[in-house]
Amino acid sequence: MKKMGVLVNASRGTLVDSDALAKVLKEGGIWAAGLDVVEGEPNIPADHPLVREPRCVILPHIGSATNETWVDMASLAANNALAAALGEPMPCALRCL
């Protein structure tokens, strides 16, 4: 990455090596990082190297928290509840092992 690069991860915390990212930020290898997910969440200690890094912004895993997502989830739940009440197969049933 370029020195003015910004790493953004809103996918999976394990995709980013936290120690390596903290090191490259500290050494100025990239400008900043924005993370919605961090390896080991939700139990991230206060002394985690990325928590202490001033050029790293960590969000509380809210990347999917949009109005569109909430409407879609409510619609899926309502359709499942209606189908179950009518004795029909649920269109989005969970498959438990």
Q: What is the pLDDT of residues 34-54, one digit of tens each?
A: 999 998 888 888 899 999 999
Task: Please choose, from the candidates 24, 25, 53, 50, the residue with its C-alpha nearest in 3D space to the C-alpha of residue 38.
Answer: 50
Q: What 3-state DSSP class applies to 27?
A: coil
**Residue 8 clears pLDDT 70, i.e. is over it:** yes
Question: Per mean pLDDT, which range of 13-17, 35-39, 60-64, 86-90 is the poorest?
Answer: 60-64
Confirm whether 48 is a catalytic residue: no
**Residue 96 clears pLDDT 90, i.e. is over it:** no
Could you say which of 57, 61, 83, 90 is catalytic?
61
Whether pTM exceeds 0.85: no
Domain ranges of the chain: 6-58, 66-97
Q: What is the pLDDT of residues 12-23, one digit of tens each?
A: 888 999 999 999
Count CB neighbours of 50 within 10 A: 20
